[in-house]
Amino acid sequence: MSIATVSTQPIGRFAPSPTGELHLGSLTTAIASFCHIKSLGGQWLLRIEDTDTERCDRQFAEQILIDLEALGLQWDGDIIYQSERIDIYNDYINSALRPLTYGCQCSRKDLEQYWSQEQQRPHCTHNRLPPNRHRYPRCCVTADLDRQQHKLRIQLPNYRIGFNDGIQGIQWDNPQQTLGDMVVRRQDNMINYILAASLDDGLQQITHIMRGLDILPMTTAQISIMQAAGLPAVDHWYHLPLICNPDGQKLSKQNLAQPIDTRNPSQLIAHALKLLQQPTVDRDTPENMLKQAITQWDNTPLQHKHQLNLPNL
Partner residues linked to 307 by β-bridges: 242
Q: Can residue 73 be called a binding residue for ligand GLU (CB under 6 A)?
A: no
Binding to ligand GLU, residues 50-69 (CB under 6 A):
none
Which CB sits closer to ligand GLU, 31 or 104? 31
Size of the site for ligand GLU (CB under 6 A): 7
According to DSSP, the β-strands at 242-244 and 169-173 are unpaired
Among 12, 17, 115, 273, binds ligand GLU (CB under 6 A): 17
Distance CA 310, CA 273 (A): 12
Contact 172, 162 (CB under 8 A): yes
Long-range CB contacts for residues 258-266, cutoff 8 Å, separation at least 24 = 258/23, 258/24, 259/20, 259/21, 259/22, 259/23, 260/21, 260/22, 260/23, 260/24, 260/27, 260/67, 262/66, 262/67, 262/70, 262/71, 265/70, 265/71, 265/72
Q: Can residue 49 be called a binding residue for ligand GLU (CB under 6 A)?
A: yes
Question: Kindly report the CA angle at 90 between 11 and 106, in degrees rounded to 5?
Answer: 115
Which CB sits closer to ligand GLU, 47 or 150? 47
Binding to ligand GLU, residues 188-227 (CB under 6 A):
197, 211, 215
Backbone angles phi, psi at 301, to 5 degrees: -65, -15
Min dist. Cβ of residue 65 to ligand GLU (A): 14
Among 10, 11, 12, 16, binds ligand GLU (CB under 6 A): 16
Which CB sits closer to ligand GLU, 106 or 276? 276
Which CB sits closer to ligand GLU, 35 or 281? 35
Which CB sits closer to ligand GLU, 15 or 100? 15
- The region of 2-10, 14-22, 137-145, 163-171 touching ligand GLU under the rule CB under 6 A is 14-22
Min dist. Cβ of residue 278 to ligand GLU (A): 20
Q: Can residue 185 be called a binding residue for ligand GLU (CB under 6 A)?
A: no
Min dist. Cβ of residue 251 to ligand GLU (A): 12
Which CB sits closer to ligand GLU, 64 or 104? 64
Q: Can residue 15 be called a binding residue for ligand GLU (CB under 6 A)?
A: yes
CA dihedral 265, 35, 222, 67 (to 10 degrees): 20
The CA R_g of the chain, rounded to the nearest whole Å, is 21
Min dist. Cβ of residue 292 to ligand GLU (A): 25
Q: Crossing angle for the helix pair 24-39 and 265-275, nearest 10 degrees?
A: 80
Contact 151, 185 (CB under 8 A): yes
Sign of CA dihedral 172, 174, 179, 181: positive
Residues that bind ligand GLU (CB under 6 A): 15-17, 49, 197, 211, 215
